[in-house]
């Protein structure tokens, strides 16, 4: 991972985990929503950082087919950045009791599915049978 953008998008979830840990250690008053949100946030933001690291410079905002990453987390899930990002953000919102903001997920989830489909088309066009074989043995 050499590009500045790749480093930044890997560091951000690590910083968010650190902020969650700091906040949890300094704020009293836990309830079930906060506990569940904390666990979801820490686990999935950590997995997001790992997924971003494993993706390396293959990461891009617009779908590009630089390389087909099929190892690590990508050996089981085709789009761990989308999945773990959504679940991590969901956890943080739950932890912070920002329930109205959870309604945003009604819009974000379909957008992420559309992004994943667009990305799949680009990867299939570039990598053909290799991508189709990869897609057949992975989830989302």
Instruction: Give the model's pLDDT for residue 1.
Output: 47
Tokens of 112: 């992420």
Tokens of 76: 């089981």
End-to-end CA distance of the chain: 24
pTM for this model (two decimals): 0.86
Mean pLDDT, each 10-residue run in order, the chain (140 residues) = 68 94 92 96 97 81 76 94 95 94 87 92 93 94
- Check if the beta carbon of residue 63 is closer than 8 Å to that of residue 121: yes
Query: How buried is 86 (Cβ within 10 angstroms: 0-12 exposed, 13-18 middle, 19+ buried)?
Result: middle
Instruction: Give the model's pLDDT for residue 13.
Output: 93
Tokens of 79: 């789009």
Name the phi and psi angles at 139, rounded to 5.
-100, 145
Instruction: Give the model's pLDDT for residue 16.
Output: 94
Instruction: Give the model's pLDDT for residue 7.
Output: 74
Q: Nearest-CA neighbor of 87 among 70, 69, 62, 105?
A: 105
C-beta atoms surrounding 134 within 10 Å: 18
């Amino acid at each position: 991972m050499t590009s500045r953008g790749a480093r930044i998008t890997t560091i951000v979830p690590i910083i968010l985990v650190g902020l969650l840990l700091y906040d949890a250690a300094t704020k009293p008053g836990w309830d079930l929503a906060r506990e569940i949100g904390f666990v979801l946030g820490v686990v999935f933001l950590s997995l997001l950082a790992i997924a971003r690291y494993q993706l390396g410079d293959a990461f891009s905002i617009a779908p590009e087919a630089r390389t087909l990453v099929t190892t690590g987390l990508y050996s089981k899930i085709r789009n761990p950045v989308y999945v773990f990002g959504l679940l991590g953000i969901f956890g943080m919102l739950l932890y912070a009791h920002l329930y109205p903001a959870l309604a945003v997920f009604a819009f974000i989830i379909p957008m992420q599915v559309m992004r994943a489909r667009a990305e799949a088309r680009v990867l299939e066009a570039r990598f053909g049978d290799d991508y189709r074989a990869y897609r057949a043995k992975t989830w989302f």
